[in-house]
Amino acid sequence: MKKKVILSAATLFGAGFIPLCPGTVASALGLFFVWFIPNQAVFSFFAIIVIGLAFAFSGKAEKIMGKKDPKAIVIDEFAGILVTFLFVPREPLFILAGFFLFRLLDIIKIPPADKLEKKNGSFAIVGDDLAAGIYANFTLQFLRLLLKISS
């Protein structure tokens, strides 16, 4: 039972087992929460909880699955996309840009994200996605300042 709970959480209730682009699917699922939790305080609290769960479950799921950072573990992408949208306006331009920025930055792994990925356990699995989320968030914040839009 404990293994099922860990795997369910780490794979976002099976979304990680989708054969095509499971990380992108998890990121897209995160957009649902971005759109439907407009209150920044509630959204921030939700993001913190998800990040905590990502660290708690991803390393354990990796051990259960017996493979380093299996693609089915997608709670890290879900957490990363939430970081992308912390204190970012909930406007279509920002949501679209943030989604693509996060996915691009998660794939190309700008340092130190590339080094984080080489560590072991939860820190490796979640760390690179949080770094991508932070990079994407900074980029969106810069865009927001350029356009003089409040969050």
pLDDT digits (tens, 9 = 90+) for 6-62: 999 999 999 999 999 999 999 999 999 999 998 999 999 999 999 999 999 999 999
pLDDT bracket for residue 119 (50, 70, 90): confident
The pTM score is 0.93
Q: What is the per-residue pLDDT across 98-114, written as a single tens digit (0 to 9) for each? A: 999 999 999 998 888 77
* pLDDT number for residue 64: 95
CA distance linking residue 49 with residue 67, whole number of Å: 25
Q: What is the per-residue pLDDT across 50-59, written as a single tens digit (0 to 9) for each? A: 999 999 999 9
Within 13 Å of residue 83, how many CA atoms lie on the same side as its CB?
A: 28
CA distance linking residue 120 with residue 97, whole number of Å: 31
| Residue 84 clears pLDDT 70, i.e. is over it | yes
φ/ψ (deg, to 5) at 85: -105, 15
| Residue 151 clears pLDDT 70, i.e. is over it | no
Percent of the chain with pLDDT over 90: 84
Cβ atoms of residues 71 and 23 within 8 Å: yes
Cβ atoms of residues 130 and 64 within 8 Å: no
CA distance linking residue 74 with residue 68, whole number of Å: 13
Q: What is the per-residue pLDDT across 63-77, written as a single tens digit (0 to 9) for each? A: 999 998 899 999 999
Q: Which residues lie closer than 8 Å to 84 by C-beta, 6 or more apart?
A: 98, 99, 101, 102, 132, 133, 136, 137, 140
Q: Quick one: three-class SS letters along 28-76?
A: HHHHHHHHHCCCHHHHHHHHHHHHHHHHHHHHHHHHHHCCCCCCCCCHH
